[in-house]
Amino acid sequence: MLGNLYGKTNIPELRRRIGWVSTSLDDQFQFRSMDSVLEIVLSGKFVSIGLYEEITQHDLEKALDLMDRFHIRHAKNQILTSLSQGERRKAMIARALMASLDLFILDEPCNGLDVFSREELLHSIEDMASDRVGPTILYVTHHIEKIVPSISHALLLREGQIIAQGSKTQTLNESLLEQAFKFPIALEWDNGRAWLRVTNTIAGRI
């Protein structure tokens, strides 16, 4: 991975180059009631659950800049469980970006969010994805309307098998999506995002 061979690389160092945000990661912080959001963000530099190493003024400034970027600086002294779902996702994204990433994996980042929180988070992800000097983003989702415009390529899976892969617009088409979802759909593109609608013909198949 990332040009490294298994058994011939320093795994802890490699981990620092790979960011990951998922609801399962949130769970690892649920019982750390003494950690502030700022401390959680800072822990991303060390890829640790908890902050155990010394931080520098540069680290602190970077953490606060990231919290500004994702509009959560106001919550820096709060604990994670006091934040909304959307704010928690932003805190975890900011945490991941504390490291110098080559690859950033976003695993269903919009799970559990209402429409407003979802779109607000997607706007932040789009800003990050459009940054040409940022890490490569691997975005995992079951909902194609949550794929932001700057995501350029797609890989379509069904039951662990690859149906198609390639440019986003070529891969996310009605024919291939019907193969993936196994029901008839209509697809529309709007401002770089794909919107899927189930067609009425599905009623006769249920």
Listed in order, the ranges of the chain carrying CATH 3.40.50.300 are 11-144
Contacts for 28-35 with beta carbons within 8 Å, 24 or more apart?
Answer: 29/80, 30/80, 30/81, 32/80, 33/79, 33/81, 34/79, 35/79, 35/80
What sign for the dihedral angle of Cα 81, 83, 87, 93?
negative
Give the mean pLDDT of 109-135: 87
pLDDT at 41: 95
| CA–CA separation, 57 and 147 (whole Å) | 36
Q: Which of 173, 186, 180, 184 is nearest to 206 (CA)?
A: 184
**Which residue intervals of the chain are DSSP H helices?**
11-15, 23-27, 37-43, 57-69, 85-96, 115-129, 168-171, 174-181
State the distance between the two ends of the chain, measured CA to CA, in whole angstroms.
43
pLDDT at 40: 93
Tell which wins on pLDDT, 24 or 16.
24
CATH number of 11-144: 3.40.50.300
pLDDT at 30: 75
pLDDT tens digits for range 52-69: 888 999 999 999 999 998
pLDDT at 112: 84
Q: Which of 84, 195, 118 is nearest to 75 (CA)?
A: 84
User: How far apart, in Å, are the Cα atoms of 195 and each of 38, 80, 119, 177?
Assistant: 36, 32, 14, 12
pLDDT tens digits for range 143-186: 999 999 999 999 999 998 999 999 999 999 999 999 998 889 99
The two tokens of residue 101 are: 């990433």
